[in-house]
Amino acid sequence: MPHADLTQSAWNELSDEAAARIAAAIASDTGATLTHVGSHSYADRSGRIALLQRDGIDFALVPGGTVDLGFDPARFTVTARQAAHFAEAAAEWGLDGTPIDFIVGTTSPPRRVALPARLVAVRARPSEELIDDDEGDGHDWVIAGLRGRGLRPPTPDEWEHACGAGAGTLFRWGDDYPDGEPYGTVPLIQEPNLFGLIIAADPYESELTTDPAVLCGGDGGSALCGGYGDFLSWLTLATAYREAELAETVFDGGLTAETPVRPVIEIP
């Protein structure tokens, strides 16, 4: 089986010895150095991670397969606390509809997609730190700059899968959020997810994807900085969250260089 066809279930079902051999082969195929293979837990789920390094960037193996993405309202129940937080925001900011309506309007739709296994950077970094050409700007500049290093951004589908790791819940850790604002040292958001990625850890750090219209992992800090309340601020870190106007702000405002991108290495 080609390593690009490795699924999450198949990866976790391997023996430790077989997993180490496959991870070493993937490292060899991609010009990376394997640094760790082992069990890993996050938010009451357990699996296996493989960590690699190439050109000073830490990567994690993200298995692929046929996966379910997007927000499915049929699988979500609003808690009393969430309803109260939403009601406060709705009253102050003139929002219409229910919490479910709002989530549906700000997340990607439910869908089933097939994805290849790939290496995904453990952390996103500002585009300007990854691209040698410091004279450019815009989405094409990011794509070309990463391509010159044998890298690319994730697709929106790949980003969602890398974040949720098959969780099927609103957030990668579940359907509710911790107390407090989603910023600073807060349980769950700074911890490596089930694939070993630090992802959707700061609503200010929205990440570029292969689609110039789609940034993932936050809203640029608008909800949090604007004082929109817990519900709207935490929602920006939902796995399927989409901020419709963010791309225009980034590209028209000349903010591409400082906007984070999470490099991907394709597995042959």
- pLDDT digits 0-9 by tens, 109-134: 999 999 999 999 999 999 999 998 88
Which residue bears the tokens 């407090």?
180
Q: Is residue 221 part of a domain?
A: yes
Percent of the chain with pLDDT over 90: 91
pLDDT tens per residue, range 188-219:
899 999 999 999 999 999 999 999 999 999 99
Give whole-number Cα distances, 188 to 48, 121, 134, 203, 206, in Å: 18, 19, 35, 14, 18
Residue 1 lies in a domain: no
Question: What would the mean pLDDT of 34-44 be, rounded to a whole number?
Answer: 97
Inside any domain, residue 58: no
Tokens of 242: 């989409």
46 is a domain residue: no
Asked if pLDDT for residue 187 goes beyond 90, the answer is no
**Is residue 2 in a domain?**
no
Average pLDDT, the chain: 96
Residue 135: pLDDT over 80:
no
Q: What is the pLDDT of residue 238?
A: 98
Chain CA centroid to CA 181, Å? 19
The number of distinct structural domains making up the chain is 1
Rounded to 5 degrees, φ, ψ at 33 are -110, 125
pTM: 0.97
| Within a domain: 89 | yes
Strands, E assignment, 63-216: 65-69, 111-115, 118-121, 125-126, 207-208, 215-216
The pLDDT > 70 percentage for the chain reads 100
The answer to the question of residue 33 being in a domain is no
Q: How confident is the model at residue 230 (pLDDT cuts 50, 70, 90)?
A: very high
The predicted model gives 57-74 an average pLDDT of: 97
Domain, as residue range, for 99: 65-112+124-266
Residue 204 located in a structural domain: yes
Is residue 27 over pLDDT 90? yes
H/E stretch holding 40: strand 33-42
